[in-house]
A and B are shown apart, each in its own frame.
Chain A
Amino acid sequence: MKRVFGPASAFPALASMAGVTVFAVLFLHAESQEEVMGLTLGAAAALLLLARFGWNALAAVSFAGHSRTGQAAVLIGVLIIAAVFYDQHFPLLMLASVLLYIVVCLGLNLQFGYAGVLNFAGAAFFGVGCYTAAVLTSHTSLPHLAVVLIGGLMAAGIGSLLILPVLRTHGHYAALVTIAFSILFRVFLEVNDTLGGPQGMKVQGMEILGWKLNDSLAFGEIEISFYANYVVLALVMAAVAFMLVRRLERSWIGLNLDAVRLDETACAAFGIDVARWKITAFTLGNFLTGLAGSVYAMMTGFVAPNSFTFGDSLILVSIVILGGLGNPWGLSVAAAIVLMLPEKLQFIQEYRLLLYAALVILILLFRPGGLMPRQVRSYLPGWKP
């Protein structure tokens, strides 16, 4: 196949994206359980078959060589999916959730994919963003874009309380710090009456410069679901966060983060400030998580402690591991799979956690790099040794 297209062609990347878009539309459109099941198995079989013929490697090379075209194709793909379902709430809500979760996982990826700072409190920082949005929209009249920003800053700020223990401890001791925080946060929300206790709080819909995102747009006969607004907003956020993380990874900052993860002692010996890079990654990651949280809260209009359990933090961690630690593309795919599959396959909804957990165990045992393992850093785009 390589001879047909040549390594320089953008065609494999574009064709793959077109295929993925068509599949996503069919998948979201499928109503019966048999259809969903058939599509899932069909996709898995097709992927294996394509891998057998070397298509996946070809597409990967093509993506790497035409990253701009590839990224544009992904954006267009998401917009096409949104356009197909313009008047249906549920698929759009799911699409927006996936995009926001991608932002969260990008933050986590910065933390333990690059800098190696363990964070088992992802859902807690997400919750900080959500509750910030809930409190600020119902008690103040701050502009909502500012609320989103404050949501991110709050998550980063509360995260900074953990910086000292995270820096002082290593390995398992460091894991305890975030695990303890995750449990503490959930218990705190449950017993705190001002934050609504176990019942949670209502959140107002977002409003930007007088334009209410929770109002449906209508053009004559055609009415567009209001979730489309959130899809666009989430897409912009995800794209910006994605770009930021990719740029960070490629820059000397990313190089420093990788070095800190791989060997702290060697880093310190070479004059790299370990504490500084750990703080940078941890704070920036929590900021992204908080941002996504506050938008998510405004989109769903409701927050409750039950959404921010330790189990939810584990799901976030498993998305990053499943995708391939340190690979932003991988985690995006994994986020889509992990969020959409159980929503569509209602009969596995009940067994959702059990299946994820079992799947992650299998991946850790047999494919520890994840679905799309991170590639060795290439210093020049498209350069092959």
Chain B
Amino acid sequence: MTLGLLSQYVFNSLMLGMIYAMVAVGFTLFFGVLDIIKFSHGDVLMVGAFTGLATYLGLEALGVDSALVQLLVMTLVATLSMALLGALIAKYLVLPLRLAPPLNTLLLTLMLGTVLREAVRLFYPQGSNPKPFPRLLPADSISFGSFTLRADSVILLLAGLAAIVAVHLLINRTKLGLAIRAVAQDAETARIMGINFEFIVLLTFAIGSGMAALGGLMNGLYYNEINFGIGLLLGVIGFSAAVVGGLGNIYGAILGGFLFSALQSVGAVTLPALFPGTSTAYKDVFAFAVVIIFMVWRPTGLIAEKKSERV
């Protein structure tokens, strides 16, 4: 393999890893504040991408044809509406089940994901077919031998990085972030200290879901296609990434996201080389198998949550 091809693989894997990391950060945020897994996260991402697409079509119909304006409005509408959706889900579906067994919350959100997915499939015009996603980013590219660096990929990568850094700063540097961390550490004590528990939970869900919407738009802009089914796989991958990194830890989630995309790339490259005749489509089989084996080695992820069981 040439250096150019190798760097191409590395770059693509970074790009995918960024999307996975953005999904995983959502999972880990929700787990942090409420100790629950919101499995509809991947489907919120998909709904976000479809909202972006619908906004784009609406802007086209209105005659707005500047790519920059379209992009900004799309991002704004998709992110805000998904943040709202996330907060609504938290208020009406997740919080009422706070005292129920964790299995119930997991199931409820799995089913909610199904509802969102099916709703888009059935009620979006021709929702069951893949939809072309507009190319709004400059398509320039620079070639170094067999390595092509596309401007849109670089922009997406930087945008993802900016979003993750912004969330990091919000959580570690602001008073709001302090409240989120307090709730994550001990909800009871945080309440005693005068922190509005419900508001913080809703806010956290809004932030996580907004991130998912951004991830969905990035996914759409990168592949130039979206369909109603992307949420399920992206959700499971994001969840795997969050778990591999260690639930409740943002750095773990980011690490897990890049690790998962690296696994996929390694699978895609090495499997056909090692076993002639196998297709690169086995990359997901490989990545998930490694995740399962990994769970044997580190049952609570790379950066394990600190936890002691009181008996």
Contacts and interface: CB of A to CB of B under 8 A. Distances in A.
Contacts of B247: 172-173
Interface in A120-177: 162, 164-165, 168-173, 175-177
A356 B247 CA distance: 30
B103 A112 contact: yes
B118 A187 contact: no
A175 B38 CA distance: 13
B122 A354 contact: yes
Nearest to B277: A193
A180 B309 CA distance: 27
Contact of B93 (A168, A170, A172, A365): A365
A341 B102 CA distance: 29
Contact of B288 (A171, A181, A266, A358): A181
Given A361-B93, A364-B107, A265 B309 contact: yes
B203 interface: no
Indicate the member of B31, B122, B243, B292 with the most A CB atoms within 10 Å: B292
Contacts of B108: 360-361, 364-365
Contact of B289 (A170, A184, A353): A184
A350 interface: yes
B236 A183 contact: yes
A112 B153 CA distance: 44
Contacts of A104: none
Contact of A180 (B240, B279, B301, B311): B240
A336 B157 CA distance: 50
A60 B233 CA distance: 43
B299 A168 contact: yes
A314 interface: yes
Q: B interface, how many residues as a size bin?
A: 35 or more
Main secondary structure of the interface of A (DSSP, over half): helix
A358 B293 CA distance: 34
Given A176-B295, A265-B309, A310 B232 contact: yes
A342 B247 CA distance: 38
Contacts of B233: 183
A357 interface: yes
A175 B37 contact: yes
B178 interface: no
B106 interface: yes
Contacts of A118: 103
A345 B279 CA distance: 41
Interface in A332-367: 350-351, 353-354, 356-358, 360-361, 364-365
A176 B309 contact: no
Contacts of B190: none
Contacts of A314: 110-111, 114
Interface string B205-247: 0000000000000000000000000001100100110010001
Nearest to B282: A191
Nearest to A315: B114
A301 interface: no
B96 interface: yes
A190 B279 CA distance: 11
A266 to B, nearest CB: 8
B291 interface: yes
Contacts of A61: none
B111 A361 contact: yes
A234 interface: no
Given A180-B292, A181-B292, A350-B122, A173 B114 contact: no
B152 interface: no
Contact of B102 (A164, A172, A353): A172
A269 B300 CA distance: 23
Contact of B295 (A173, A266, A350, A358): A173
Nearest to B290: A180
Contact of A354 (B37, B115, B243): B115
Instruction: Select the residue from A180, A181, A365, A368 with max chain B CB neighbours within 10 A.
Output: A180
Contacts of A173: 243, 247, 295, 299-301
A305 B118 CA distance: 20
A165 B114 contact: no
Interface in A171-201: 171-173, 175-177, 179-181, 183-184, 187-188, 190-191
21 contacts: A169-B300, A172-B31, A172-B247, A173-B247, A175-B106, A177-B295, A179-B236, A181-B288, A187-B284, A310-B232, A310-B236, A314-B111, A351-B118, A354-B114, A356-B114, A357-B118, A358-B111, A360-B108, A361-B111, A364-B108, A368-B104
Interface of A: 112, 118, 162, 164-165, 168-173, 175-177, 179-181, 183-184, 187-188, 190-191, 265-266, 269, 310-311, 314, 317-318, 321, 350-351, 353-354, 356-358, 360-361, 364-365, 368
Interface of B: 31, 37, 93, 96-97, 100, 102-104, 106-108, 110-112, 114-115, 118-119, 122, 232-233, 236, 239-240, 243, 247, 279, 281-282, 284-285, 288-289, 291-293, 295-296, 299-301, 309, 311
Given A165-B295, A172-B247, A187-B288, 20 more contacts: A165-B296, A165-B299, A168-B295, A171-B102, A172-B37, A173-B301, A175-B106, A179-B236, A180-B236, A183-B236, A183-B288, A187-B284, A265-B309, A265-B311, A310-B236, A314-B111, A354-B114, A354-B119, A360-B107, A361-B93
